[in-house]
Amino acid sequence: MSHTLYDLIGLAAGVAFILALKGLSHPKTARRGNLIGAFGASLATLVVFFHTNEDSSLPLNNLGWILGAIAIGLVIGVPAARKVQMTQMPQLVALFNGVGGGAAALVAIVEYLNLGDKATTAEVIFTVFTVIVGCVSFSGSIITFMKLQELMTTRPVIFPAGRFIIAATLVSVLGVGGWVVNSLGTTPLLILAGLSLLFGILFVLPVGGADVPIVISLLNAFTGLTVAASGYVLDSTLLIIAGTLVGASGTILTRLMAEAMGRSLFGTLFGAFTAKPQDAAAAGEERPVRSGSPDDVAILLNYARRVVIVPGFGLAVAQAQHTVRELADLMISKGIDVAYGIHPVAGRMPGHMNVLLAEANVPYDQLAEMDEVNPTFGQTDVAIVIGANDVVNPAAQTTPGCPIYGMPILEVNHAANIIFLKRSMRPGFAGIENELLYDPKTMLLFGDAKASLTKVVSALKAL
């Protein structure tokens, strides 16, 4: 295969990666995007077997080893990815990212050994870069994996003088890196790799459980850059493009993720050192809830077949009746089956919800009484509870003696997903805590109901 053709196919794979990322940024095209990416990657892998240039000829050297290694990789990777449970996917991604970083570091090392003295300074610099970042990514990812898999504590691990140790490690990594560039040699390179691995561990240990996904995303971007650097050393446009793409999009993505979780990137990475340890402990005491963004809510709604809206006093306080109707209309126009589940004592006056919803001209036939709607929650994909609380509180059925015990409730707990729109974790009229807020099926969208709904509507329109 001519070098030009090879390069062109490589470029085509690069284009496939661009299209893959583009596709992955939209729910409608995400799956197709991923397939395009897989196609690009397969293409690139395939043609490398037919690639010849001045100093190599077909078939490749060590072809057996190569094919065997690929087979092993397949045997490990595919079943792992196939069998993993939904909830464990993040740690698997972390692991995959780590091995990718490791691979990049190994490639750099081998090429370094191979080039020996022929290496230009630039090539050595890129090699050093790849080794450092690849190793950090590798060991860092392993730690995040262990945290997520709960093989170790999910709390930030703080040790005395932690920041000094980390700083010292970083300085020595850079020092050894400089040494390698100046004097070349295998030993310094291996020392460099070792120190970088250590740094990766130290770097991730202090990060708290909730922030781990952000760190994975950052390490992912890092790995991308190592791939780009390897591309330079191996003179492969494809690797440069693919690596840069991942590096750039990964960086943006990391920032977006941090924003979506309401954290600063800096705080995530170095928070454990700046914050006082007892804070972290105190935060650990609170029971975890799952809070989402308007986008998350919109996506849940967009892919639902049946949605039940449960309004309560908070809807009236927020005067969000017009907005909720807009949301319902939008869902209906998307072919989603929408009903309002009206609890007889929702609000603060008999018929309070009716007054509100009539004002927004919600057709009467969309309103369902409690007895009518309760049996349908089993077939409901999403129950969206807007400023209601007591009327969906399972304590009414499960906690004899509590003030609302015996009151019939809207059984939203039977729906596949529950979304709560409220401003805080405060209880409702009866003043008792609602266990449903802590249910794993529940997603909380904090904020004034009207503001939240407006955002959900925009997000849903954008899908």
Ligand X SMILES: NC(=O)c1ccc[n+]([C@@H]2O[C@H](COP(=O)([O-])OP(=O)(O)OC[C@H]3O[C@@H](n4cnc5c(N)ncnc54)[C@H](OP(=O)(O)O)[C@@H]3O)[C@@H](O)[C@H]2O)c1
Active site amino acids: 390
Comparing C-alpha atoms, which of 123, 101, 231 is closest to residue 181? 123
Tell me which of 1, 2, 50, 113 binds other proteins, using CB under 8 A: 113
Tell me which of 9, 92, 324, 449 binds other proteins, using CB under 8 A: 92
| Residue 344 binding other proteins, by CB under 8 A | yes
Tell me which of 156, 177, 200, 213 binds other proteins, using CB under 8 A: 213
| Residue 287 binding ligand X, by CB under 6 A | no
Q: Minimal distance in Å, beta carbon 343 to other proteins?
A: 8
Task: Select the binding partner of residue 69 from ligand X, other proteins, its own copies, none (C-beta < 5 to 8 A, by kind).
Answer: other proteins
Q: Minimal distance in Å, beta carbon 314 to other proteins?
A: 9
Comparing C-alpha atoms, which of 113, 105, 118 is closest to residue 185? 113
Task: Select the binding partner of residue 325 from its own copies, ligand X, other proteins, none (C-beta < 5 to 8 A, by kind).
Answer: its own copies
Angle CA 455–457–459, to nearest 5? 70
Closer residue to its own copies, CB minimum distance, 275 or 299:
299
| Residue 265 binding ligand X, by CB under 6 A | no
| Residue 327 binding ligand X, by CB under 6 A | no
Q: Which residues bind its own copies (CB under 8 A)?
A: 319, 322, 325-326, 359-361, 458, 461
Considering only residues 172 to 211 of the shown chain, the ones binding other proteins according to CB under 8 A are none
Q: Minimal distance in Å, beta carbon 355 to ligand X?
A: 11
Distance (Å, whole) CA 324 – CA 357: 9
Tell me which of 211, 326, 390, 433 binds ligand X, using CB under 6 A: 390
| Residue 14 binding other proteins, by CB under 8 A | yes
User: Which of 55-63, 166-174, 182-190, 423-431 is the region at the interface with ligand X (rule: CB under 6 A)?
Assistant: 423-431
| Residue 396 binding other proteins, by CB under 8 A | yes
Task: Select the binding partner of residue 290 from other proteins, ligand X, its own copies, none (C-beta < 5 to 8 A, by kind).
Answer: none
Please answer whether residues 306 and 376 qualify as being in contact, where contact means their C-beta atoms are separated by less than 8 angstroms: yes
| Residue 421 binding ligand X, by CB under 6 A | yes
Tell me which of 350, 363, 375, 440 binds ligand X, using CB under 6 A: 350
| Residue 119 binding other proteins, by CB under 8 A | no
Please answer whether residues 307 and 377 qualify as being in contact, where contact means their C-beta atoms are separated by less than 8 angstroms: no
| Residue 404 binding other proteins, by CB under 8 A | yes
Tell me which of 3, 26, 31, 348 binds ligand X, using CB under 6 A: 348
Please report, for residues 290, 387, 422, 444, 449, the alpha-carbon distance to residue 452 in angstroms, rounded to integers and kept in the order given: 16, 11, 9, 11, 5
Distance (Å, whole) CA 172 – CA 197: 12
User: Which of 10-18, 61-69, 254-262, 347-355 is the region at the interface with ligand X (rule: CB under 6 A)?
Assistant: 347-355
| Residue 62 binding other proteins, by CB under 8 A | yes
Distance (Å, whole) CA 174 – CA 181: 11
Task: Select the binding partner of residue 360 from its own copies, other proteins, ligand X, none (C-beta < 5 to 8 A, by kind).
Answer: its own copies
Tell me which of 347, 367, 417, 457 binds ligand X, using CB under 6 A: 347
Binding-site ranges for ligand X (CB under 6 A): 312-314, 317-318, 345-350, 352, 387-391, 421-424, 426, 428-430, 448-449
